Amino acid sequence: MAAIKIHLEAAELAAVTRLAEALHVKPEDIAHAALNRLMLDAENPELHTDIKRTREWRGDNLPLWSDSATSIHAYESMPDEPSRPRKRK
């Protein structure tokens, strides 16, 4: 059997794993379903453009569906919040 390896950032894998756990499947099942949906729409010119654009930005950015809260882009534009003491129970 041939294999295709998908290299994911930790934030991407976390999102895929969380979805897999919610559906009681493996992360590989999510990848197979995503590829299946993509290939069923393979004749769509918009999809061709999306694939090419994704390849261009992939090295520098995380996708919107990833756990990108740890990304610089996610917190750079947020206002500073003053620290507050935690309430003890």
For residue range 14-64, list pLDDT tens digits in order: 999 999 999 999 999 999 999 999 999 999 999 999 999 888 887 777 877
pLDDT at 80: 52
Higher pLDDT, 81 or 60: 60
- As a whole number of angstroms, the distance between CA 34 and CA 25 comes to 14
Q: Are 31 and 20 in contact (CB under 8 A)?
A: no
The contacts of residue 33 (CB under 8 Å, 6+ apart) are none
Which DSSP category does 69 fall into? G
Tally of CA atoms within 13 A in the half-sphere of 63 that contains its CB: 15
